[in-house]
Amino acid sequence: MFGAVLGGLAAYHAGHESLPNVGLWWDVAMVALVLMPLTFALVYLVLPFRTARGLPLVAVALAVLAVALQLAGLDSGADFAKLFAVSFVAWWFLTVFEEVSWVVIVACVIPWVDAYSVWRGPTKHIVEHERGLFDNLSIAFPTMGQTTASHLGLPDVLFFALFLAAAVRFGLRVGWTWLGMALSFGVTVACAVWWNLDGLPALPALSLGFLVPNADLLWRALRSGSSGDAASIPGAS
């Protein structure tokens, strides 16, 4: 399954410019409902490796590979390397989270930080004045028949992987969490296009994609003060 998804995405990235130019909202639908879910399905499919030893070393190796591919002009390959490098960093970082409440706090705080960064902070400066740096610190979702693409910043990828692995570790609804978060990125893209904006912060919708499908389980865990692998949370599935 992993190979089929990766191969299909690689083929699309390689040949997207030769595909028909289908118009703005079809492009939005393609990115939101196909490319983004398939790309983050790769993260879902490698979840069994979230507790593997040596994740930081593998992440460093993938980061070096991403830089090499970028310098060689192989941007799509670099994007896949960045996707997994950042995901592995997120999974290593999750090991310091002792309770599910820590994850909830992060999910409640980061939307405000992201919104400030995009509208008035460093992300705004990078997008407007350092476009090349932004491309290096994001992954692209190319549109059909064009050279343009939608982009997600690497912090967005990091928190996607963090929340998804947290759903496994703390016994939450993994499938629904993945779906809610994957579609949240598409909602952000659609809203940016609808409002004719250069970009919107992705982490507010991402946090909702994590919190909403698990609201009852998280509330139960917070009330009971449960910790560790909330595989012990009653009702988790």
CB 83 within 8 A of CB 139: yes
State the Cα angle at 160 between 134 and 102, rounded to 5°: 115
| pTM, two decimal places | 0.90
Q: What is the rounded radius of gyration, in angstroms, for the C-alpha atoms of the chain?
A: 18
pLDDT single digits (tens) 120-143 = 777 766 666 666 677 788 999 999
Measure Cα distances from 142 to 30, 35, 61, 209 in Å.
Answer: 10, 9, 25, 23
pLDDT single digits (tens) 194-227 = 998 877 899 999 999 999 999 999 999 888 864 4
Measure Cα distances from 186 to 10, 20, 63, 70, 80 in Å.
Answer: 20, 21, 26, 25, 19
Tell me the C-alpha distance between 140 and 150, whole Å.
6
Domain residue limits, the chain: 2-225
Mean pLDDT of the region 70-77: 92
Q: What is the pLDDT of residue 139?
A: 94
Place of tokens 């995901």: 87
> Per the structure block, which two tokens stand in for 87?
């995901």
Hey, which residues does 142 pair with through a beta bridge?
149
Residue 51 zone, left/alpha/beta (φ > 0; ψ -120 to 50; rest): alpha
Mean pLDDT of the region 176-192: 95
Q: What is the pLDDT of residue 154?
A: 94
Percent of the residues in the chain that have a pLDDT greater than 70, as a whole number: 90
Alpha helices in 16-99 (DSSP H): 24-30, 36-45, 55-71, 75-94
CB 151 within 8 A of CB 137: no
Place of tokens 């670099």: 78
Tell me the C-alpha distance between 4 and 93, whole Å.
29
> Per the structure block, which two tokens stand in for 88?
């592995």
| Listed residue (43, 19, 6) closest to 148, CA to CA | 19
